[in-house]
Amino acid sequence: MNITYTALLFLLLAITFSASGQEPISAITMPENLDQGKVELGKKLFFDPRLSKSGWISCNSCHNLMLSGTDNLVSSIGHQWAQGPINSPTVFNAVYSIAQFWDGRAKDLVDQAGGPIANPGEMASSHELAVSVLQTIPGYISEFNEVFDDDEITIDMVTDSIAEFERTLVTPNSRFDQWLQGDTNALTELELDGYRLFKLTGCAGCHNGPAVGGQAYQKMGSFNRFETENTAIGRQGVTGLRTDRMRFKVPTLRNIELTYPYFHDGSVRTLEEAVDTMAWVQLNRTFSRTGNEKVVAFLRSLSGDLPRIVLPILPPSGPDTPDPQPFE
- Give the helix/strand (H/E) hosting 149: none
> Does residue number 62 form part of the binding site for ligand HEC (CB under 6 A)?
yes
> Cis (ω within 30 of 0) for the bond into 261?
yes
> Does residue number 195 form part of the binding site for ligand HEC (CB under 6 A)?
no
Q: Name which of residues 99 to 118 contact ligand HEC (CB under 6 A).
A: 100-102, 109, 112-113, 116-117
> Does residue number 74 form part of the binding site for ligand HEC (CB under 6 A)?
no
Q: Name which of residues 270 to 289 contact ligand HEC (CB under 6 A).
A: 274-275, 278-279, 282-283
Judged by CB under 6 A, how many residues of this single chain contact ligand HEC?
Answer: 52
Interface with ligand HEC by CB under 6 A: which range of 53-61, 141-149, 185-193, 320-328?
Answer: 53-61
> Does residue number 263 form part of the binding site for ligand HEC (CB under 6 A)?
yes
Q: Name which of residues 198 to 257 contact ligand HEC (CB under 6 A).
A: 201-203, 205-207, 218, 220, 222, 248, 250-251, 253, 256
How many CB atoms lie under 10 A from the CB of residue 328? Answer: 9
Of 91, 84, 88, 45, nearest in space to 65 by CA: 91
The answer to whether residues 89 and 68 touch, using CB atoms and an 8 Å cutoff, is no
Q: Name which of residues 134 to 173 contact ligand HEC (CB under 6 A).
A: 162
Work out the end-to-end distance of the chain between its first and last CA atoms, rounded to an integer number of angstroms: 52
The yes-or-no answer on residue 40 being catalytic is no
- Taking the complex as a whole, the smallest distance from the CB of residue 313 to ligand HEC amounts, in Å, to 19
How many CB atoms lie under 10 A from the CB of residue 209? Answer: 18
- Taking the complex as a whole, the smallest distance from the CB of residue 319 to ligand HEC amounts, in Å, to 26
> Does residue number 304 form part of the binding site for ligand HEC (CB under 6 A)?
no
Q: How far is CA 266 from CA 40, 70, 74, 251, in A?
A: 32, 12, 4, 13
Q: Which residues contact 54 (CB under 8 A, 6 or more apart)?
A: 79, 80, 123, 124, 324, 325, 326
Distance CA 114, CA 106 (A): 10
Which CB sits closer to ligand HEC, 16 or 151?
A: 16
Which CB sits closer to ligand HEC, 116 or 209?
A: 116
Q: How far is CA 135 from CA 23, 42, 132, 138, 139, in A?
A: 49, 15, 5, 7, 9
- Taking the complex as a whole, the smallest distance from the CB of residue 295 to ligand HEC amounts, in Å, to 5
> Does residue number 258 form part of the binding site for ligand HEC (CB under 6 A)?
no
The answer to whether residues 96 and 211 touch, using CB atoms and an 8 Å cutoff, is yes
Which CB sits closer to ligand HEC, 140 or 263?
A: 263
Distance CA 52, CA 80 (A): 11
Q: Which of 40, 122, 164, 273 is catalytic?
A: 122
The answer to whether residues 76 and 122 touch, using CB atoms and an 8 Å cutoff, is yes
How many CB atoms lie under 10 A from the CB of residue 129? Answer: 16
- The residues that are catalytic are 122
Instruction: Name the site residues for ligand HEC (rule: CB under 6 A).
Output: 10, 46, 57, 59, 61-63, 76, 78, 84, 86, 88-89, 91, 94, 97, 100-102, 109, 112-113, 116-117, 122-123, 162, 201-203, 205-207, 218, 220, 222, 248, 250-251, 253, 256, 259, 262-264, 274-275, 278-279, 282-283, 295
